[in-house]
Structure 1
Amino acid sequence: MKKRNKFKHVIYMLAALAMLLYALPQLSFQNGPGWVLGFGVVWCIFAFLVIASHLHFIIGVDEEKHKRLEAVRKHKLEQWQSKWKDEPARVSQRS
Protein backbone atom coordinates (compact mmCIF):
# COMPACT_ATOMS: atom_id res chain seq x y z
CA MET A 1 0.00 0.00 0.00
CA LYS A 2 2.77 2.45 0.87
CA LYS A 3 4.63 1.86 -2.40
CA ARG A 4 1.46 2.50 -4.38
CA ASN A 5 0.82 5.65 -2.36
CA LYS A 6 4.38 6.88 -3.02
CA PHE A 7 3.99 6.03 -6.71
CA LYS A 8 0.91 8.25 -6.82
CA HIS A 9 2.89 11.12 -5.32
CA VAL A 10 5.72 10.59 -7.82
CA ILE A 11 3.22 10.80 -10.70
CA TYR A 12 1.63 13.98 -9.30
CA MET A 13 5.02 15.57 -8.71
CA LEU A 14 6.15 14.77 -12.26
CA ALA A 15 2.91 16.23 -13.64
CA ALA A 16 3.41 19.46 -11.66
CA LEU A 17 7.04 19.61 -12.79
CA ALA A 18 6.00 19.12 -16.42
CA MET A 19 3.42 21.91 -16.15
CA LEU A 20 6.03 24.18 -14.60
CA LEU A 21 8.59 23.42 -17.29
CA TYR A 22 5.95 24.12 -19.93
CA ALA A 23 4.90 27.42 -18.32
CA LEU A 24 8.32 28.91 -17.54
CA PRO A 25 9.27 29.71 -21.17
CA GLN A 26 5.83 31.29 -21.69
CA LEU A 27 6.45 33.97 -19.02
CA SER A 28 7.15 37.32 -20.62
CA PHE A 29 9.45 39.74 -18.85
CA GLN A 30 9.63 42.13 -21.81
CA ASN A 31 6.53 44.16 -20.99
CA GLY A 32 7.76 44.94 -17.50
CA PRO A 33 5.83 44.29 -14.31
CA GLY A 34 2.14 43.79 -14.79
CA TRP A 35 -0.79 41.55 -13.98
CA VAL A 36 0.25 38.86 -16.45
CA LEU A 37 3.75 38.62 -15.03
CA GLY A 38 2.40 38.70 -11.47
CA PHE A 39 0.00 35.86 -12.22
CA GLY A 40 2.78 33.83 -13.81
CA VAL A 41 5.09 34.30 -10.85
CA VAL A 42 2.38 33.40 -8.32
CA TRP A 43 1.42 30.36 -10.40
CA CYS A 44 5.07 29.23 -10.47
CA ILE A 45 5.35 29.66 -6.70
CA PHE A 46 2.29 27.46 -6.17
CA ALA A 47 3.72 24.88 -8.59
CA PHE A 48 6.99 24.84 -6.61
CA LEU A 49 5.00 24.36 -3.39
CA VAL A 50 3.12 21.40 -4.89
CA ILE A 51 6.38 19.83 -6.07
CA ALA A 52 8.02 20.41 -2.69
CA SER A 53 5.11 18.88 -0.79
CA HIS A 54 5.13 15.74 -2.92
CA LEU A 55 8.90 15.48 -2.64
CA HIS A 56 8.60 15.86 1.13
CA PHE A 57 6.19 12.92 1.23
CA ILE A 58 8.28 10.78 -1.13
CA ILE A 59 11.46 11.27 0.88
CA GLY A 60 9.58 10.14 3.98
CA VAL A 61 10.25 12.98 6.38
CA ASP A 62 6.82 12.44 7.92
CA GLU A 63 7.58 8.75 8.54
CA GLU A 64 10.69 9.60 10.55
CA LYS A 65 8.77 12.19 12.56
CA HIS A 66 5.94 9.73 13.11
CA LYS A 67 8.38 7.09 14.41
CA ARG A 68 9.93 9.57 16.85
CA LEU A 69 6.52 10.71 18.11
CA GLU A 70 5.41 7.10 18.50
CA ALA A 71 8.52 6.35 20.60
CA VAL A 72 7.74 9.33 22.85
CA ARG A 73 4.11 8.19 23.23
CA LYS A 74 5.23 4.67 24.08
CA HIS A 75 7.66 5.96 26.71
CA LYS A 76 4.99 8.17 28.29
CA LEU A 77 2.55 5.26 28.36
CA GLU A 78 5.14 3.08 30.08
CA GLN A 79 5.74 5.82 32.67
CA TRP A 80 2.02 6.20 33.25
CA GLN A 81 1.53 2.43 33.62
CA SER A 82 4.43 2.09 36.06
CA LYS A 83 3.03 5.00 38.09
CA TRP A 84 -0.34 3.29 38.37
CA LYS A 85 1.26 -0.06 39.23
CA ASP A 86 3.05 1.56 42.17
CA GLU A 87 0.00 3.56 43.29
CA PRO A 88 -1.86 0.72 45.17
CA ALA A 89 1.31 -0.05 47.11
CA ARG A 90 1.61 3.58 48.19
CA VAL A 91 -2.04 3.71 49.27
CA SER A 92 -1.71 0.54 51.38
CA GLN A 93 1.46 1.86 53.03
CA ARG A 94 -0.31 5.07 54.08
CA SER A 95 -3.14 3.20 55.82
Structure 2
Amino acid sequence: MRKKSKFKHSVYLLAALAMLLYALPKLSFQNGPGWVLGFGVVWCIFAFMVIASHLHFIIGVDEEKQKRLDAVRKAKLAQWQGKWNEEGRVSQRS
Protein backbone atom coordinates (compact mmCIF):
# COMPACT_ATOMS: atom_id res chain seq x y z
CA MET A 1 0.00 0.00 0.00
CA ARG A 2 2.84 2.41 0.83
CA LYS A 3 4.58 1.96 -2.55
CA LYS A 4 1.33 2.59 -4.42
CA SER A 5 0.82 5.78 -2.44
CA LYS A 6 4.36 6.98 -3.11
CA PHE A 7 3.89 6.24 -6.80
CA LYS A 8 0.71 8.31 -6.82
CA HIS A 9 2.48 11.22 -5.13
CA SER A 10 5.37 10.90 -7.60
CA VAL A 11 2.95 11.21 -10.51
CA TYR A 12 1.30 14.26 -8.92
CA LEU A 13 4.72 15.79 -8.29
CA LEU A 14 5.71 15.34 -11.94
CA ALA A 15 2.39 16.83 -13.07
CA ALA A 16 2.87 19.88 -10.83
CA LEU A 17 6.44 20.34 -12.07
CA ALA A 18 5.27 20.08 -15.68
CA MET A 19 2.53 22.66 -15.10
CA LEU A 20 5.02 25.01 -13.46
CA LEU A 21 7.59 24.61 -16.25
CA TYR A 22 4.90 25.17 -18.85
CA ALA A 23 3.42 28.23 -17.13
CA LEU A 24 6.54 30.11 -16.03
CA PRO A 25 7.47 31.42 -19.49
CA LYS A 26 3.85 32.50 -20.08
CA LEU A 27 3.44 34.44 -16.83
CA SER A 28 4.22 38.12 -17.11
CA PHE A 29 6.52 39.49 -14.42
CA GLN A 30 7.71 42.53 -16.40
CA ASN A 31 4.70 44.88 -16.38
CA GLY A 32 5.44 46.18 -12.89
CA PRO A 33 3.21 45.88 -9.86
CA GLY A 34 -0.38 45.03 -10.61
CA TRP A 35 -2.95 42.27 -10.78
CA VAL A 36 -1.07 40.32 -13.44
CA LEU A 37 2.13 40.28 -11.40
CA GLY A 38 0.19 39.41 -8.23
CA PHE A 39 -1.54 36.50 -9.95
CA GLY A 40 1.76 35.17 -11.28
CA VAL A 41 3.45 35.34 -7.89
CA VAL A 42 0.52 33.73 -6.04
CA TRP A 43 0.19 30.99 -8.68
CA CYS A 44 3.91 30.19 -8.44
CA ILE A 45 3.77 30.10 -4.63
CA PHE A 46 0.86 27.63 -4.71
CA ALA A 47 2.65 25.49 -7.31
CA PHE A 48 5.80 25.40 -5.18
CA MET A 49 3.72 24.48 -2.11
CA VAL A 50 2.15 21.55 -3.98
CA ILE A 51 5.57 20.40 -5.17
CA ALA A 52 7.04 20.73 -1.67
CA SER A 53 4.18 18.79 -0.06
CA HIS A 54 4.57 15.89 -2.47
CA LEU A 55 8.35 15.86 -2.01
CA HIS A 56 7.83 15.88 1.75
CA PHE A 57 5.57 12.84 1.50
CA ILE A 58 7.83 10.96 -0.95
CA ILE A 59 10.95 11.51 1.14
CA GLY A 60 9.05 10.33 4.21
CA VAL A 61 10.21 13.01 6.61
CA ASP A 62 7.36 12.33 9.02
CA GLU A 63 7.31 8.54 9.13
CA GLU A 64 8.34 8.48 12.80
CA LYS A 65 5.80 11.17 13.62
CA GLN A 66 3.12 9.17 11.78
CA LYS A 67 3.98 6.07 13.82
CA ARG A 68 3.59 8.05 17.04
CA LEU A 69 0.26 9.48 15.89
CA ASP A 70 -0.97 5.99 15.01
CA ALA A 71 -0.01 4.79 18.50
CA VAL A 72 -1.91 7.70 20.08
CA ARG A 73 -4.97 6.94 17.91
CA LYS A 74 -4.90 3.29 18.96
CA ALA A 75 -4.62 4.24 22.63
CA LYS A 76 -7.53 6.68 22.34
CA LEU A 77 -9.62 4.08 20.53
CA ALA A 78 -8.90 1.52 23.27
CA GLN A 79 -9.80 4.09 25.92
CA TRP A 80 -13.03 4.99 24.12
CA GLN A 81 -13.97 1.34 23.70
CA GLY A 82 -13.28 0.74 27.39
CA LYS A 83 -15.60 3.60 28.37
CA TRP A 84 -18.24 2.40 25.93
CA ASN A 85 -18.08 -1.16 27.31
CA GLU A 86 -18.22 0.17 30.87
CA GLU A 87 -21.28 2.32 30.10
CA GLY A 88 -22.97 -0.69 28.50
CA ARG A 89 -22.43 -2.75 31.65
CA VAL A 90 -23.78 0.04 33.87
CA SER A 91 -26.93 0.48 31.77
CA GLN A 92 -27.52 -3.30 31.77
CA ARG A 93 -27.41 -3.37 35.59
CA SER A 94 -29.99 -0.58 35.91
Above 0.5 in TM-score? yes
Structure 1: any 5+ residue segments left out of the alignment?
74-95
CA distance in 1 between counterparts of 2:30 and 2:63 reads: 45
| Equivalence map 1:1-95=2 (5 Å) | 1-67=1-67, 69=68
Runs of 4 or more, structure 1, over 2 Å off, are none
**CA–CA distance in structure 2, aligned partners of residues 17 and 58 of structure 1:** 15
What's the offset of the Cα at 1:65?
Answer: 1.8
Separation in structure 2 between the aligned mates of residue 30 and residue 40 of structure 1, nearest angstrom? 11
The CA deviation at 1:64 is 2.3
Coordinate RMSD, CA, aligned:
2.0
Which range is displaced more, 20-29 or 5-14?
A: 20-29
Cα offset for 1:13?
A: 0.6
Structure 2 residues not aligned, in runs of 5+: 73-94
The count of residues paired between Structure 1 and Structure 2 equals 73
Distance in 2 separating the partners of 1:8 and 1:29: 33
**d(CA) in 1 for partners of 2:29 and 2:54?**
29
Identical aligned pairs, as a percentage? 82
CA contact (8 A) 2:28 2:37 kept: yes
Q: In the TM superposition, what is the alpha-carbon distance from 1:4 to its structure 2 partner?
A: 0.6
CA positional deviation for 1:24: 0.9
Output the CA distance in 2 between the equivalents of 1:54 and 1:60: 10
Query: Relative contact order: is structure 1 or structure 2 higher (C-alpha 8 Å, sep ≥ 6)?
Result: 1
